[in-house]
Amino acid sequence: MARRWTNTLTPADVTPEAAFWNRRQIIAGIAGMGLASLSGAGQAQAAEGELEPNSWEDVTTYCNFYEFGTGKGDPAAYAGRMTTSPWSVKIDGLVDKPGDYDFQQILGEMTIEERIYRFRCVEAWSMVVPWNGFELADLLNMAGVQEGAKYVAFETLYRPEEMPGTAYRVLDWPYREGLRLDEAMHPLTLMATGIFGKPLPNQNGAPLRLVVPWKYGFKSIKSIVRITLTDKEPPTSWNMANAREYGFYSNVNPNVDHPRWSQATERRIGGGLFARRQPTLMFNGYEEDVASLYDGMDLTKQF
C-alpha cells in the first residue's frame, strides 16, 4: 500500500528553536533536489515549499482542548496542571501484544521525523504546524494488528482533578476518536510527540497525540492513553454529541458545509485583523495522497 517517508531524523537531530528556521531552509533545498529524481515520490511534500509554519506562539496559544475549557486560551492557561510523566498507553483489542506501553519505551522503538502539515479546524481556521513524531503504522505494527481488525479507537486522558473543563458535560468524557484501519496505516498519519523540535506542550496534547492532516482537527485526538483495535466503527465524541454536524470521517471538504457555517474558505491564523480568507483545499491539500482511500464512497453522505 503505502510508500514510506524516508526522513530519518532522531531525537539527536532536534535543533534549538533559534536555529530552526535556518535548518528548515537547508532541508527544503536538499529535499527539493532529492525528490526531483524520485518520480511520484514527492506528492505529499510537493506543496511543502509553500507551507510557511505558524509561529510557536500561534500554535501553542490558540488551541481547542475542551478538557481544559472551551475558550481558545484556556488550554494554554490550565493544561500545565496535567501530569504527563510517567505516561503509558494501553494498546488492546485485536492485537498480538496487548498491554500498557510506557511512553519512553515507545519512543525508544520509534524513529522521530519532522513533518510540516496543514492543520484545518472544523471551525474554519487553519494553521501550518511543524510536527515531530512517528508514523502510527509503526506503533500498530509493533503491537501486531490481527486479521479481523478494521478500525482503531483512541481515548484521551480523563483526569478531572487536573482538567477543570471536565467539570462541565461539554462532551461525554473521556474524549474518543477513531479511524478506519487503512486511514490509520496511511503514511501521512502521524503520532506527534513534539512541535518545532521540542516536546509537545501540554495544551497541544502532550505527550502523544494523533495528527491526521486531511481531516478536521478534532480527529487528531490529544494526550492519548488508549488505542484499541476493533472490528466495528468506534463511537467518537463529536459524532456522539451531534451526528448531523460531525461525521465519523470528517475529511476536510470545501464542498460539504458544516450545517452552521460554510467550509469553502478558511481563515489562516496569524494573519492579523485584515487577513484575507483562503479557499479550503479538498482533503486539506492531501487529495493526491488520500483520495483513493474513499473510492466509491459518497462523501456528502459519509462526511
Partner 1 sequence: MERVNQTLRWVPVWSLYLLGLLPLPWLFYLGLTGALGPEPVKALEHEYGELALKLLVLVLAVTPLRRFLGLNLMKFRRALGVICFTYVLAHLLVWLVLDVQIPSQILADIVKRPYITVGMVAFVLMVPLAVTSNNGSVRRLGPRWRKLHRLTYPIAVLGALHYLLLIKGFQLEPLTYLAVILLLLVLRLPIIQDQTAVRARE
Question: Cα-flanking dihedrals φ and ψ of residue 291, to 5°?
Answer: -55, -35
53 scored as a contact of partner 1 (CB under 8 A): no
Told to check if 272 binds partner 1 by CB under 8 A, we report yes
Q: Which is nearer to partner 1, 63 or 153 (CB)?
A: 63
| Residue 275 binds partner 1 (CB under 8 A) | yes
Among 105, 265, 292, 302, binds partner 1 (CB under 8 A): 265
Question: Which cell goes with 205?
Answer: 496534547
Residue with smaller CB distance to partner 1, 241 or 297: 241
**Residue closer to partner 1 (CB basis): 28 or 170:** 170
Q: Whole-number minimum distance, CB 279 to partner 1, in Å?
A: 11
Q: How far apart are CA 163 and CA 67, in angstroms?
A: 5
Give min distance, CB of 275 to partner 1, in A: 8
Q: Verify binding: residue 86, partner 1, rule CB under 8 A.
A: no
Binding status of residue 262 toward partner 1 by CB under 8 A:
yes
DSSP structure class, residue 145: B
Binding mask 98-127 for partner 1 (x = CB under 8 A): -------------------------x-x--
Q: How many CB atoms lie within 10 A of CB 138?
A: 16
C-alpha to C-alpha distance for 233 and 231, rounded to whole angstroms: 7
60 three-class SS? helix
How many residues at the interface with partner 1, by CB under 8 A? 33
Q: Which of 173, 222, 228 shows the shortest CA–CA distance to 201?
A: 222
Stretch that binds partner 1, among 149-157, 178-186, 202-210, 253-261 (CB under 8 A): 253-261
CB closer to partner 1 out of 54 and 220: 54
Q: What is the DSSP string of 215-274?
A: B-GGGS--SEEEEEEESSPPP-HHHHH-TTTS-SS-B--TTS-BTTB--SEEEETTS-TT
Question: Which residues in the 134-193 window bind partner 1 by CB under 8 A?
Answer: 168-171
Residues 187 and 213: beta-carbon distance below 8 Å: no
Residue choice 35, 45, 53, 54 for contact with partner 1 (CB under 8 A): 54
Amino acid sitting at position 65: F
* 114 touches 12 (CB < 8 A): no
Point out which residues bind partner 1 (CB under 8 A).
Answer: 54-55, 57-58, 61-62, 66, 70, 72-73, 123, 125, 168-171, 241, 257, 259-262, 264-265, 267, 269-270, 272-277
